[in-house]
Structure 1
């Protein structure tokens, strides 16, 4: 097989490409295709691919692949020209002038997608997928040309010498391109992309599965022929015309089952299956009845995708039977039109009509398969981190589905394992944002209850937009998760902004300023905030102090307390100004230790550390046990009057409170009313019912901090208030 891979490909001739197009489009514009073929050959000139082939062989092969989808002339010509703007001196204007604006726009779209693949970093890949989906949402042909481009590149991937580059391209193919192809129903491309990527990502596993399939193909050749003959006889006896063929499970599909179910190759029961193509939908069900009459079917293995098609438009009946020898076989039953859609997906009904390229269904055809990507498009609207989008989009592309109904009978397809929260966001983002409960088949159920096909789901709503507690366990779809993340961001932003607004007013008044006289727009400009709301949010989150706000709002402002006395933070730099005791001399270094965080008013002791200076601890600090046998190091210290009048120290409290709306604002209000200044606030261990807040507060002394703690305990939502010594 390796020797086969290393052969150079034969270049598709100009007349051969025209013949492929004529097979489904007799009215082909030969002149347009011929000119594009010659132009691509000329522009790529002497460029070579890694295989040694002339570079123009690649766009020609891409055009040939597109004929398998029966694409229109604009898409075929785009396939021929898709690398000219990127890799040659051709320009958009030149392409537009020679081949028309429509072709130029498509080539430009494919070029932009190609440029997104330059980097290998995962964070860039996440951003690329965002841009990719945004681009393809404007014209599906951009995606189809790109899929054909990727398919031919994967067929020649073995010519690339660097293993890490082959791995990156294969991983990107299996993570993005194959799922997108599957999502829009182009299974013909998706299956080959998966197998080619699998071959490079897990070469040993691929070879083992391939060899086992080769062995089984010989072993079961006669058995499969016998089954085909029996099915044909069964249907012909009922005067039904049918095309019956055997099919073999592909290597990547087998690998997924081996990996997911932890079984051996010989334990997989559906490696071989059969496809029955009949003339009408009614005959599909008639053929199913005949098969079930002739062979025993496997319970739980029957799926009706005709009555309820997949979101990509796929329709078929699936069943598994057990032969007289005990062999399990999967059988798919569909019409010729359904089979066409199963292979070509979105390309089956997208064509020109009235000079417009778009979805033009035949009678009784399913909905436009491009709708399968709508949820992925909507994730873009919620913003957020590109990594979140990457994971959410992958969630949308990879899941199996369940089909549930609204009380009015509207049908919604959701991934298996989806909950009422996923359903609410699938119906409408506004419904998801306000969900508080759900009824399934008329019965109240917890929001985390998985939905099952056939369920009727009624959403119970609130007037308040608020993320449900513990939402991570309540949603599995990308659309719901991105919607909830957006709502959480908005909710937290509002909480912090409300708190920051209160803190701003208090901080300014406390420093002798009237908030009504201060134009915060000046502070916004100086501190580089977009607006006052963003400034308040930063203040609420502890990213901005009240002092910094005042200094930005009133440049040159000297901080004063209510009595007009200058206040200085008690820190290691100014520590000696606030202490008295034997052993203190001018210039001695003072270190207020974080292990106990001394506050004015607390009993303190100093430990002489030689040239390093003096460590200041509270008298009950556990660290003092290390110096019990070295009394000569101990220094008696106390706070002077200056510390009580003009000093400001920072104390830390841990607050355990109910996780209710407005709790941040309530805490901020109490602290502000007690003349405290929050310098930092951090939420920890946020659960469904409770939340821990770590609050750093600028206070005059320990009594001041105790007053604040006592006042906080009066809040009904507060469970516990604890003084933390360490500032870590």
Structure 2
């Protein structure tokens, strides 16, 4: 569609469904926008105002309301002109101004990377969507017109915009059920990203179209005749898959173009849901159905609110298959326009608008879910990645014990189900019953499963859960919990480190007065002591230097410049139960009994190394980052250590050695093996041990095995 050069087409479209007063307001908005954008040009040529007019036309095609059309005409005013939100509010009302502000990008803010800018813009758009879903409808129409006129851009910029559109905007249109926009966006992106493939597929489709049209016309006539016999009012039309859909099907299923073209698709549009089921019976009596290819999306709508009956039939020709979609007229409007159909039917008071209500409800549920993700995400980039997961759900439907339906992406696990029910249910899940059989939380679910989550007394997610959950909500909530836990651990560690550093100055942290505490927080630029403790526990501040600053602040001294001379305080005992704030270095795998030293890393907190670790030798040039530590007497837990064994190269040697280790009540974390030469193999075992005595017991047992030539701790 070419960019318009007048408002005639727009006014003609809106006049078919809006009253004269509303149309007059739209004309007023156009005049305001034309004046605001006066002198501005598009790269594609012509006055800038014709871009907002084109966007408004796209929305008029799906019959959006007056405020949406006005907001579309003004959607770039705040960003690109001197006019403000207040100006728009005064002339066109708060609702229009809120929508326009929601669409406006964050161009005036500074970001460290383009990815962060994109993520922040996306986050703002989602927040605006939560207040008014029409924000995203205007953004989609804006992106569609930009894609239609992308030819004037540089090739690299065209590709970047098309990839972003295919990655986010087309899936969002699909998620909101607006298939008319989704399909055009996908085909436009396909043409730009893969021009050669697009051209080849387009040529092949044109070549095959003549013969196919004859077959489609013949089958259409047969179906229409059967509907007349059954006295079911309706219309039938064959539909051609769009190019990107054909390409995806060929790529994903590894099929040739001719194999895909053997499938003919038809839509049967009838007057009511009851007629849909009657039409289904007529189709199954006309052509034989393929087993297990029937889907009832009327009883169980898709996650975007889509409703229809789908069935696949053996066609009248030897290899042909018929894909039939049966919908009511309103279901068809919803399938094409998605959430936009909500405004199309908003004025109706009858009971025929259940389809639009369903899609509106599904859209609002999705936006609510996005808000939960946004609150729990660590930053905008995390949020963007989680939304990506949520945008591509090949959906399954499972049931709660009470019969409620939960939709999840294909491949989702019982733990994903638990988080979909409620965050607290996910946090406290320990196992589940799937169809009355006890199963672990990592079990993959399938459509039709009934899932009952078994909960424990504590809400304590396991970090390993991140390895198998599939949904954005589960992943985000687990990470959110872990971040909170890491913060708590860091605060406890930082407080303990500072206590020991202050001991050198004969000072006690608990002995500070309220005034002294306030002076310290002001000098160190923190609002609470916990913020200070967290920075100490994560290695962002060094305890001995902070202790000296506190000492000088309390004594009223001015010379609080950080000294480069580092002096250790009392050694910190390591118990093995410190949580996330203390980590044991993978380079040397320290275990209780080893001489150890602590290194404060600004990224990882307190890292415990063996005293003779080669990495620590390199770090000793930065003594201010080192911390005296020792193993506590009551050290607990298991610790990783690595053994390398030189073993005779005989059949079954790995199994023999693994069995020998298991006999010492030791768990193996991982094992690698490679040939040293023709006679010997090198096997590296990472083991869970309690301390050096436990390790010595393992080594002693292995030395007795005749296959083992040499053992060394790595």
What is the TM-score normalised by the length of structure 2?
0.76
User: Which residues of 2 match residues 265-344 of structure 1 at below 5 A?
Assistant: 265-268=257-260, 272-323=264-315, 324-344=317-337
2:494 to 478, 500, 504: 500
User: Which residues of 2 match residues 558-637 of structure 1 at below 5 A?
Assistant: none
1:64 has 2:57 as partner: yes
- Give the corresponding residue for 1:256: 248
How far 1:527 moved relative to its partner? 3.8
User: Quick one: distance in 2 between partners of 1:117 and 1:195?
Assistant: 34
- Give the corresponding residue for 1:189: 181
1:347 has 2:344 as partner: no
3-state SS, counterpart of residue 447 of structure 2: coil
1:546 to 526, 543, 547: 543
User: Quick one: distance in 2 between partners of 1:105 and 1:325?
Assistant: 58
How far 1:244 moved relative to its partner? 0.4
Structure with max Cα Rg:
1
Root-mean-square deviation over aligned CA pairs: 4.0
1:219 to 211, 214, 230: 211
- Give the corresponding residue for 2:149: 156
Q: 1:222 to 1:650 in 2, by over 3 A?
A: farther
1:140 has 2:133 as partner: yes
2:104 to 111, 117, 124: 111
How far 1:511 moved relative to its partner? 4.8
3-state SS, counterpart of residue 358 of structure 2: coil
- Give the corresponding residue for 1:715: 636
- Give the corresponding residue for 1:232: 224
User: Quick one: distance in 1 between partners of 2:112 and 2:291?
Assistant: 48
2:90 to 87, 94, 97: 97
- Give the corresponding residue for 2:17: 24
User: Quick one: distance in 2 between partners of 1:141 and 1:648?
Assistant: 61
Q: 1:344 to 1:267 in 2, by over 3 A?
A: same
3-state SS, counterpart of residue 47 of structure 2: coil
How far 1:9 moved relative to its partner? 4.2
- Structure 2: where are the runs of 5+ without partners? 556-562, 585-590, 621-625, 640-688, 694-714
3-state SS, counterpart of residue 350 of structure 1: helix
2:482 to 488, 495, 502: 488
Q: 1:708 to 1:534 in 2, by over 3 A?
A: closer
How far 1:379 moved relative to its partner? 0.6
Contact 2:78 2:85 in 1 (8 A): yes
1:37 to 25, 30, 33: 30
3-state SS, counterpart of residue 48 of structure 1: coil
User: Quick one: distance in 2 between partners of 1:415 and 1:310?
Assistant: 11
3-state SS, counterpart of residue 452 of structure 1: coil
What is the TM-score normalised by the length of structure 1?
0.75
How far 1:291 moved relative to its partner? 1.7
Q: 1:118 to 1:177 in 2, by over 3 A?
A: farther
- Give the corresponding residue for 1:74: 67
CA deviations on 1:503-528 (whole Å, 9 max, x unpaired) are: 33333335532332245655544444
- Give the corresponding residue for 1:423: 417
- 268-277 or 468-477, larger mean C-alpha shift: 268-277
- Give the corresponding residue for 1:206: 198
How far 1:137 moved relative to its partner? 1.4
3-state SS, counterpart of residue 104 of structure 1: helix
User: Quick one: distance in 1 between partners of 2:136 and 2:553?
Assistant: 59
CA deviations on 1:72-100 (whole Å, 9 max, x unpaired) are: 11111222222233333433333333333
User: Quick one: distance in 1 between partners of 2:292 and 2:111?
Assistant: 46
User: Quick one: distance in 2 between partners of 1:693 and 1:173?
Assistant: 46
User: Quick one: distance in 2 between partners of 1:117 and 1:218?
Assistant: 55
1:680 to 592, 600, 606: 600
CA deviations on 1:520-552 (whole Å, 9 max, x unpaired) are: 655544444442223333333344443123112
Contact 1:72 1:352 in 2 (8 A): no
- Give the corresponding residue for 2:683: none
1:169 has 2:161 as partner: yes
Contact 2:26 2:70 in 1 (8 A): yes
- Give the corresponding residue for 1:83: 76
3-state SS, counterpart of residue 467 of structure 1: coil
User: Quick one: distance in 2 between partners of 1:46 and 1:385?
Assistant: 39
1:414 to 372, 396, 408: 408
How far 1:396 moved relative to its partner? 0.6
Q: 1:466 to 1:530 in 2, by over 3 A?
A: farther
3-state SS, counterpart of residue 190 of structure 2: helix
How far 1:343 moved relative to its partner? 0.8
3-state SS, counterpart of residue 269 of structure 2: strand
- Structure 1: where are the runs of 5+ without partners? 559-567, 572-646, 685-690, 700-704, 724-728
How far 1:554 moved relative to its partner? 1.0
Q: 1:113 to 1:217 in 2, by over 3 A?
A: farther
Contact 2:310 2:324 in 1 (8 A): yes
User: Quick one: distance in 2 between partners of 1:96 and 1:662?
Assistant: 53
User: Quick one: distance in 1 between partners of 2:148 and 2:111?
Assistant: 19
User: Quick one: distance in 2 between partners of 1:497 and 1:112?
Assistant: 38
- 236-245 or 708-717, larger mean C-alpha shift: 708-717
2:460 to 449, 463, 466: 466
User: Quick one: distance in 1 between partners of 2:104 and 2:323?
Assistant: 42
1:451 has 2:445 as partner: yes
- Give the corresponding residue for 1:362: 353
How far 1:478 moved relative to its partner? 1.0
Contact 1:436 1:468 in 2 (8 A): no
User: Which residues of 2 match residues 519-558 of structure 1 at below 5 A?
Assistant: 522-555=519-552
Q: 1:310 to 1:184 in 2, by over 3 A?
A: same
- Give the corresponding residue for 2:119: 126
Q: 1:543 to 1:122 in 2, by over 3 A?
A: closer
Contact 1:681 1:695 in 2 (8 A): no
CA deviations on 1:173-232 (whole Å, 9 max, x unpaired) are: 112211111111111111111111221111112112211221221231111111111111
Contact 1:247 1:274 in 2 (8 A): yes
- Give the corresponding residue for 1:632: none
How far 1:31 moved relative to its partner? 2.1
User: Quick one: distance in 2 between partners of 1:666 and 1:217?
Assistant: 65
User: Quick one: distance in 2 between partners of 1:273 and 1:106?
Assistant: 38
CA deviations on 1:668-713 (whole Å, 9 max, x unpaired) are: xxx9xx99985537999xxxxxx995477999xxxxx9x9767558
